[in-house]
Structure 1
Amino acid sequence: MQVLRQKITQLMTDEPNLLPGDMAIRLGVSEYDVVCAFPHEMVSVMPAKEAQSLLETIAQWGPVTVIVQSGGSIFEVKAPLPRGKVARGYYNLMGEEGQLHGHLKLDAMAYIALLSRPFMGKESHYFGFFSKQGDSIFKIYLGRDEQRRLFPEQVEKFIQLKQQYQSLYEE
C-alpha cells in the first residue's frame, strides 16, 4: 500500500485534475484501491451495509450531482436525490420529473468512500459507491448553487460523516 500511496501522491502533484478512475487505469489497480491510497485526511470509508441509510439521509440534503461512468462516458444528474424503497431485491429510486430514476442493487456494493479532494481548483466532496472488485458503481457529489459554491450545510454534514467513519478507515 505504501508504494501505491507514493505513486498516487506523485500523480496528484504532477496532474492535480487527474480523476481517481484514470489513476486506477494508469496504475493497473481498482479505483477503490486508488481512493484508499489517498492521504488519510482526504478519505474515510463506511460499511456498505449503511448504503440504504446513507441514501435516505442524502435524499434530505437538497440538490446533489449523481455521476455514473460507463464505457468511457459520463452521465450526470443534478437534482435532489429521490427517496427510494426496497422491492424485488433493489433499492428503487422513483424521482419526479428531472430527478434520478433507477434501481440500485445494494448487495452489489462492498465499499462506500467519502472523498474530499480539490478538483479544477474548487473544493469538492463526494460519496463513492464501489463493487466488490473495487469498481465505481456511482458517485454522489455535494451540490452547488448558481455561483458554483458548495452548499455549506451539505459540506458540514459530509465532514461530520467523514469524521465519524475516519477511525474505521484508519484501523
Structure 2
Amino acid sequence: MSSTSSDKQDSIATLKARLAESGDGILENIAAEHQLSLMDVIQCLPNALWTRVRGEHFTGVMNELAEWGLLNIIVHTEDAIIEVQSQVPEGSLGHGYYNLKGGHPLSGHLKPDRITDIVFLTRPFMGVDTASIQFLNGQGKCAFKVYVGRDETRSLRQDQLKHFHSLKNRLSAAATEAAPC
C-alpha cells in the first residue's frame, strides 16, 4: 500500500470517527480539509444518513422534482455558493443535455451523462434538520443539490419530505432488487 493510499485510509478513519459524533458542517469544506472528494466524505457519514443510487435515475428524479413545488437549489464550488429558491422546471433530453424549460427562476442545461451517483442525504446542519438530493459526478464532486423546502415555521415541508423518502425508498429498493445475488 502506498503512503498516499495509506494517508487517505487514515484520513477516512479519522473522519468517520469525527462524523459519527456530529454530521454537522459544510461537507465540501470537510472534503477539502481532508483532501477527499465530497462522495468520500458522504461515505464517512453514518449509513443511516444517506442513500446512494446510480446516476441513471437522473431524468426520473428530475421529472419528479418538478412536481414538488418550491425547493432550494444549491451549486457549491470552490469559488461560490449559489442558492436559488425555485420550482424545478420540467425538462427534456436533447443534444446531450437535460434542458430545463423556462418560466422559472431556475433554468439551464444539465449533463445527465456526467451524473454517476445521486445521494439522498438527511442530516443536521447548523442545528436544523436538512434533507437534500445531491447529484455527483465520477470524480465524487457535486454538480448541484436540491434541498427540501421549509414552511413558515422554518421546519422542513412535510409534503416534500414525504416525496423525498418515497422516492429514496423506491429507488433504493429497485437497486436492491436488481443487484445480483
Give the structure-1-normalised TM-score.
Answer: 0.88
Q: In the alignment, is the contact (CA less than 8 A) between 1:45 and 1:168 conserved in 2?
A: no
Tell me if 1:10 matches 2:15: no
> Could you tell me which amino acid in structure 2 is paired with residue 91 of structure 1?
Y
Superposition pairs of residues 39-54 of structure 1, within 5 angstroms: 39-54=46-61
Percent identical: 31
Q: In the alignment, is the contact (CA less than 8 A) between 1:8 and 1:23 conserved in 2?
A: no
Aligned residue number for residue 34 of structure 1: 41
SS in 2 for 1:133: coil
Deviation at 1:86, TM superposition (A): 1.0
Counterpart of 1:163 (choices 165, 169, 173) is 169
Q: Map Cα deviations across residues 2-54 of structure 1 (whole Å, 9 max, x no partner).
A: 8525423415647x542111111111110011112211110001110000000
SS in 2 for 1:32: helix
Q: Distance in 2 between matches of 1:161 and 1:19?
A: 25
Superposition pairs of residues 19-168 of structure 1, within 5 angstroms: 19-97=26-104, 99-164=105-170, 165=172, 168=175
Q: Distance in 1 between matches of 2:35 and 2:9?
A: 16
Gaps of 5+ in 2: 1-7
Q: Distance in 2 between matches of 1:31 and 1:84?
A: 27
Q: Which of 1 and 2 has higher RCO (CA within 8 Å, sep 6+)?
A: 1
Deviation at 1:126, TM superposition (A): 0.3
Which structure 1 residue ranges, 4+ long, deviate > 3 Å from structure 2? Answer: 11-14, 166-169
SS in 2 for 1:36: helix
SS in 2 for 1:124: strand
> Which of structures 1 and 2 has the bigger CA Rg?
2
Q: Distance in 2 between matches of 1:81 and 1:9?
A: 36
Q: Distance in 2 between matches of 1:100 and 1:73?
A: 17
Q: Structure 1 residues 100 and 107 mapped into 2: Cα distance closer, same or farther (>3 Å)?
A: same
Q: Distance in 1 between matches of 2:173 and 2:36?
A: 23
Give the structure-2-normalised TM-score.
Answer: 0.83
Q: Structure 1 residues 12 and 100 mapped into 2: Cα distance closer, same or farther (>3 Å)?
A: farther
Gaps of 5+ in 1: none
SS in 1 for 2:124: coil
> Could you tell me which amino acid in structure 1 is paired with residue 27 of structure 2?
P
